[in-house]
Amino acid sequence: MRKQNAERHYAERIGWLRAAVLGANDGIVSTASLVVGVAASHAAQGDVLIAGIAGLVAGAMSMAAGEYVSVSSQADTEKADLERERHELETDEAFEHNELAAIYVRRGLEPLLAQQVAKQLMAHDALAAHARDELGLSEMHAARPLQAALASAATFAVGAALPLLMVLLSPVANMIPLVAGSSLVFLALLGALAARVGGANVAVGAGRVTLWGALAMAATAAVGALFGNVVA
Ligand SMILES: [Zn+2]
């Protein structure tokens, strides 16, 4: 029993860690690319910093908004399913009882035992039994839009803060290579961590996100340099 709980909590933590790493990745890639692009247009350090901070806030807000909307619609769906289930239990309990017993038979119980289990669980809390075993809903995985939105915004902001810190610490002449280089190192570390936690190949995990980060920064640097020359 203790081992099972440990495994369940481990799986829960993995979910959160992966979401956090992905959020931070987004923060690093989008803010570092923005900063490198603006710096490539020969902007002053202060302007680069302002652009980066605006990018952090905009990115964090859009992540929060996106997460809130998508998790809210998931919460709406779960609520609607529960309401329909409650109605079905009120209008046709016998059918619901057989439906639940059939689920337990499919899971390997003897029909007679399945009937008994369904009867006892429905007597205890019919809606909870159907929510869990028929709809697959559990309290632990219930959609929490605000929590998800805040977590997403926070992890994005932490990721975005890393290249901004490098803008502050770098001499103007070396800002682009220092911001780009350090951001790629941060990405590789996070990519390796996400792969390690997910049980995937660490080198592949690190390489994949670093490659995309490098491509994103190269694209924005090219655009920044182009516009910098045209506009200046
Ligand atoms: Zn049902």
The answer to whether the CB of 37 falls within 8 A of the CB of 142 is: no
For the chain, the distance separating the N- and C-terminal CA atoms, rounded to the nearest angstrom, is 68
- Mean pLDDT on 149-163: 94
Q: Determine the pLDDT at residue 5.
A: 61
Distances (CA, A) of 105 to 78, 153, 212: 25, 44, 48
For residue 140, report the distance from its CA to the centre of ligand 1, in Å.
20
- More confident of the two residues 226 and 142: 226
The predicted model gives 26-43 an average pLDDT of: 93
What confidence score (pLDDT) does residue 139 get? 65
**Ligand 1 centroid – CA 137 distance (Å):** 12
Read off the tokens for 217. 């920064």
**Distance from residue 75's CA to the centre of ligand 1 (Å):** 19
Cα separations in angstroms, 129 against 89, 135, 151: 11, 9, 30
Q: Give per-residue pLDDT as tens, 193-232.
A: 888 877 889 999 999 999 999 999 999 989 888 887 776 6
pLDDT in tens, 46-105: 999 999 999 999 999 999 999 999 989 988 999 999 999 999 999 999 999 999 999 999
CA of 89 to the centre of ligand 1 (A): 7
Q: Judge whether residue 3 has pLDDT over 70.
A: no
In this prediction, residue 108 carries a pLDDT of 96
Assign 3-class secondary structure to 35-69.
Answer: HHHHHHCCCCHHHHHHHHHHHHHHHHHHHHHHHHH
Q: Is pLDDT at 14 greater than 80 in this prediction? A: no
Give the span between the Cα atoms of 174 and 178, in whole angstroms.
6
